[in-house]
Copies of this chain bind each other. A is one copy, B any other.
Amino acid sequence: MNPKATISTLPPSIRLSDEGLDAAVATVATNEYGEQKPVYIAAERALTIYLDRREIVTVMTLGTQPELLTLGWLINQRLVPDISAIKSIRVNWETESVAVTTHGAIEGLEEKLGKKTVTTGCGQGAMYGDMMAGIHKINMQAPRLDQSLIYAVLKSLNEHNDIYRQAGAVHGCALCKGTHILRFVEDVGRHNAVDAIAGYMQLKQITGEDKIFYTTGRLTSEMVIKVAQMGIPVLLSRSGATHMGLILARRVGVTLISRAKGRHFLVYTGADKINYDAIPVSKMHDRSETSSSKRTSSHGNAA
C-alpha cells in the first residue's frame, strides 16, 4: 500500500489533524480470461467541509491529504484570504467531515457563498464566478525556460505516480522547482490535487514565481485560473488544453505547455520564453512516434 501522507512541520498559528488514509483498497476483479485476480482500486471518500460550523461543500477525494486539500480548497475558492486566518483544521472520517475554525469570523462569508456560481463537468469547480473576479488583476512574468529542464522535470516525475501505477483512476499534480519535485499529489479529482498543492504552498509559505506546475490532467480554464492564483507562471501537462484555458493563460502570462511526454511537447502560449537547447536529434524517428494510429489508440487520455 502506498503510505498515507503525513504532515511534518507547521507554522505555530495553525493546528491540523493528521487523518490521511490509504489511497488504495484491495478487491477482486475478473479479467478477460474469466479468472478472478486480486487488484487494488483507488479509494473515493466524501468529505464535507464546515467553516466555522457552517456547511460549505462536500468534496469527493482519495483522502490521503484531507487537511491540505481543505486548506487549499478554501484558499483557491477565495473563501479565506490565507492561512493566517485559520486556527485549526480537524478531519473526522467517522462523520466524513472536516471542521475548520478561523481566528475571527470570515468577513463577508454569506455574501461570498451567495454569489457563487457552480460549474460542473471535468473542467469544473464550485464558485467559478467568484474565482474569475480576481483573474484580471494577474499579470505574471513567465521566466525563460530551457527545453532541457522540461525534459529533466518529466524524467523526475516518472518516479512519482505510485497510486496510479497501483490502482489507476487518479490524477497527479506536482509542484516543481527546477528538477526537484517539491510535492506530488494524486487524487480522484484532478482539482483536488491542485488544491492540496495550494494548501501545501500555504502551509510552507512557498511562493510560485520560480516554480513549474505539472499535471496529468487537461489544461482547462479552471486549471489555469487556479495555478495563476497560486502565482505559478509555468503550466506543464501531459494532456491537452482547451481554448478557454489558452485564452486565460495568454491573459495572465502563464506559459502553457501541453502534451508533454517523453521528448514531445506543444507550447500553446509563451513559446518565446523557451530556450530550445535540447532539440531532439532524430527528428524523423521522434515524429513517427506521434503517428495517427497511436493517437487513436490513446483516446480517453484527455484527463
Which residues of A approach B to under 8 Å, CB–CB? 25, 27, 29-34, 36, 39, 41-46, 48, 55, 57-61, 73, 117-126, 128-129, 147, 158, 161, 164-165, 167-172, 187-192, 216-222, 238-246, 258-259, 263-268, 271, 274, 276, 279-280, 283, 286, 292, 295-296, 298-303
Number of this chain's copies in the complex: 2
Asked if B265 contacts A170 (CB within 8 A), the reply is no
Q: Which of B39, B59, B300 contacts A119 (CB 8 A)?
A: B59
Q: Which 10 A-B pairs have the closest CB atoms?
A: A121-B189, A216-B300, A168-B240, A169-B240, A44-B242, A30-B271, A44-B244, A29-B266, A34-B276, A122-B189
Beyond contacts A34-B279, A169-B302, A188-B242: 9 other A-B pairs, Cβ-Cβ < 8 A, are A29-B266, A30-B267, A31-B267, A33-B283, A34-B276, A43-B242, A170-B302, A172-B299, A298-B301
Q: Is the interface of A mostly helix, strand, loop or mixed?
A: mixed
Query: Which of A29, A121, A221, A243 has most chain B Cβ within 10 Å?
Result: A121
Asked if A60 contacts B296 (CB within 8 A), the reply is no
